[in-house]
């Protein structure tokens, strides 16, 4: 197509308008084929491609036979290719920015649901009384039960995580879910989980504002997140090309995103807990995780270094001696999203203090750019037990080609990436995995779906 476009320019310069028209027609046929393939999310077959390619190749031989000046052809093609590359790069950046904006936006029907639930919370005192009663339940600190924690402000996403975990558990009454959200979403989260049945599982919702010990004087993360310089770095639309658009996401300056490093302090009486991101779906019973031998390690996680770009050197600045002198650049990365934490080992190793140390060293953002995984790789270095990869399969929020057999065998599938299943840009073939755990018959969801 690029070659044909170059010859169109040359043909017009030589007033061969018929040839230019024929080339344009064939190019449109190619573009139509590519467009249909993209819409179907399927590769183009050889049977579809071969006749169009042969036809275009035959047509391209005409200007070659016409002995157009080769130097002119080369210069025209070079100029044309450069222009195409510039357009492609601009379109790629624009696409990433639009995708990021969409990923950060709350769909209208979810906004509707939240408003209805907040109204319930504010007008029904019985709900608030019920929440007060459950706050001191002995089940919340019973180490004979299976404890899960989720930190999020996305109501429907959290509900799908809880529902999928409970639905696939052999004994759901032995499950306890600990949810922490922000002050804005606290009431609606309470209203939802108090009004819905989860087969006897216990669900606790906490307001992050009640964690009074978590303040700027204790946590370097909070101190840095609240600095004007940090907010400018995230949101002022810097032209620094080294910073990916995905890092302009509000979640990176949300305290909720950093709570994973304070789990032992949030739950001081618990001994073991499974951390779940709000964009996962559980497909199998997770209670066997609690009996896994972590061999004295703190963090049980699935490693992600099957590809070279998931090793430590891809996340951290190894030109800095603070990093290069302490860490192996080829060390295997791992994933947050489904992690089993031995909280007793965590407290003994004082992992949170490690995390604080590295945050302070990275105040100028020279060790890593943004996110919670790089400091996690540092804080849990030498303290992570690799789990069988079937416990946690990633990529459903960006990869169209995750192995279906791997998805089927996975205990947890993770929609990491911008294409979340609750958004229109979610990957359609994966969305049913999430939708089956959303109660579409709920009156509020039905009502909001029509708005």
In 3-state terms, what secondary structure has residue 358?
helix
- What is residue 153's DSSP assignment? S
Q: Which of 384, 410, 414, 412 is nearest to 398 (CA)?
A: 414
Which of 395-408 are b and which e, b meaning 16 or more Cβ less than 10 Å from the residue's Cβ?
A: bbbeeeebeeeebe
The side-by-side arrangement of strands in the sheet containing 146-151 is: 202-207, 175-181, 146-151, 272-276, 338-342, 299-302, 384-387
Cβ(367)–Cβ(358) below 8 Å: yes
Half-sphere exposure of 117 (CA within 13 A, CB side): 26
Cα angle, residue 447 at apex, residues 443 and 448 outer, rounded to 5°: 120
Output the pLDDT for position 112: 87
In 3-state terms, what secondary structure has residue 321?
helix
φ, ψ of residue 412 to 5 degrees: the values are -135, 130
Strands annotated E in 305-345: 338-342
Distance CA 348, CA 195 (A): 39
**C-alpha 429 chain-centroid distance:** 17
Supply the pTM of this predicted model.
Answer: 0.76
Output the pLDDT for position 40: 76
Which of 48-64 are b and which e, b meaning 16 or more Cβ less than 10 Å from the residue's Cβ?
A: eeeeeeeebeebbeebe
Output the pLDDT for position 246: 47
Give, for all 451 residues of the chain, the pLDDT tens digit.
Answer: 887 887 787 778 778 888 888 888 888 888 888 888 877 778 888 888 898 888 888 887 876 666 555 666 666 667 777 777 777 766 665 555 555 555 555 666 778 888 999 999 999 999 999 899 889 899 999 999 999 999 999 999 999 999 999 999 999 999 999 999 999 999 999 999 998 888 899 999 999 999 999 998 999 988 888 775 665 655 554 445 455 544 455 566 688 999 999 999 999 999 999 999 999 999 999 999 999 999 999 999 999 987 656 899 999 999 999 999 999 999 999 999 999 999 999 999 999 999 999 999 998 889 998 889 999 999 999 999 999 999 999 999 999 999 999 999 999 999 998 899 998 888 999 999 999 999 888 888 888 875 4
Output the pLDDT for position 106: 61
Distance CA 125, CA 105 (A): 31
Please enumerate in sequence order all residues whose Cβ is within 8 A of that of 88, keeping only pairs 6 or more positions apart, or say none: none
Output the pLDDT for position 86: 73
Q: Which helix (H) or strand (E) holds 448?
A: helix 443-449
Distance CA 195, CA 191 (A): 6
Distance CA 189, CA 449 (A): 19
What is the DSSP annotation of 57-118?
HHHHHHHHHTT--HHHHHHHHHHHHHHHHHHHHHHHHHHHHHHHHHHHSPPHHHHHHHHHHH
Burial of 124 (0-12, 13-18, 19+ CB in 10 A): middle
Cβ(52)–Cβ(30) below 8 Å: yes
- What is residue 342's DSSP assignment? E
Output the pLDDT for position 413: 98
Output the pLDDT for position 239: 46
Query: Quick one: residue 390, left, alpha or beta (phi over 0 = left, psi -120 to 50 = alpha)?
Result: alpha
In 3-state terms, what secondary structure has residue 282?
strand
Cα angle, residue 258 at apex, residues 254 and 264 outer, rounded to 5°: 140
Distance CA 339, CA 217 (A): 28
Strands annotated E in 175-316: 175-181, 202-207, 272-276, 280-282, 299-302
What is the DSSP annotation of 155-198?
HHHHHHHHHHHHHT-S-GGGEEEEEEE-HHHHHHHHHHHHHS--
Largest CA distance in the chain: 88
């Amino acid at each position: 197509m690029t070659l044909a476009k170059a010859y169109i320019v040359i043909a017009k310069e030589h007033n061969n308008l018929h040839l230019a028209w024929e080339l344009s027609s064939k190019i449109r046929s190619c573009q139509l084929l590519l467009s249909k393939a993209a819409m179907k999310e399927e590769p183009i077959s050889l049977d579809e491609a071969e006749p169009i390619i042969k036809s275009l190749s035959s047509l391209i031989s005409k200007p070659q036979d016409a002995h157009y000046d080769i130097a002119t052809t080369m210069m025209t093609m070079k100029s044309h290719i450069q222009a195409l590359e510039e357009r492609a790069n601009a379109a790629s950046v624009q696409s990433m920015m639009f995708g990021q904006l969409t990923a950060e936006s709350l769909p209208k029907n979810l906004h509707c649901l939240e408003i209805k639930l907040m109204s319930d919370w504010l007008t029904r005192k019985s709900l608030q009384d019920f929440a007060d009663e459950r706050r001191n339940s002995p089940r919340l600190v019973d180490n004979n039960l299976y404890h899960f924690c989720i930190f999020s402000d996305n109501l429907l996403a959290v509900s799908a995580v809880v529902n999928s975990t409970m639905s696939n558990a052999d004994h759901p009454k032995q499950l306890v879910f600990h949810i922490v959200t922000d002050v804005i979403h606290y009431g609606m989260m309470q209203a939802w989980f108090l009004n819905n049945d989860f087969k006897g599982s216990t669900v606790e919702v906490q307001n992050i504002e009640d964690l009074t010990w978590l303040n700027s004087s204790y946590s370097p993360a909070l101190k840095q997140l609240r600095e004007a310089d940090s907010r400018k770095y995230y949101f002022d639309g810097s032209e620094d090309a080294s910073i990916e658009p995905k890092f302009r996401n509000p979640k990176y300056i949300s305290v909720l995103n950093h709570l994973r490093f304070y789990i032992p302090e949030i739950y001081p009486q618990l001994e073991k807990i499974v951390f779940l991101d709000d964009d996962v779906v559980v497909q199998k019973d997770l209670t066997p995780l609690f009996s896994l031998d972590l061999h004295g390690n703190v963090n049980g996680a699935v490693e992600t270094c099957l590809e070279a770009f998931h090793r430590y050197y891809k996340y951290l600045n190894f030109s800095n001696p603070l990093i290069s002198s302490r860490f192996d650049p080829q060390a295997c990365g791992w994933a947050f999203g489904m992690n089993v934490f031995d909280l007793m080992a965590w407290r003994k190793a004082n992992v949170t203090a490690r995390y604080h140390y590295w945050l302070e060293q990275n105040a100028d953002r020279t060790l890593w750019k943004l996110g919670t995984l790089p400091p996690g790789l540092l804080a849990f270095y030498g303290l992570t037990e690799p789990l069988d990869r079937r416990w946690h399969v990633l990529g459903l929020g960006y990869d169209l080609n995750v192995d279906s057999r791997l998805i089927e065998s996975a205990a947890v599938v993770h929609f990491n990436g911008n294409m979340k299943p609750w958004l229109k840009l979610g990957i359609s073939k994966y969305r049913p995995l999430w939708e089956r755990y959303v109660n579409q018959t709920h009156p509020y969801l039905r009502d909001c779906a029509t708005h």
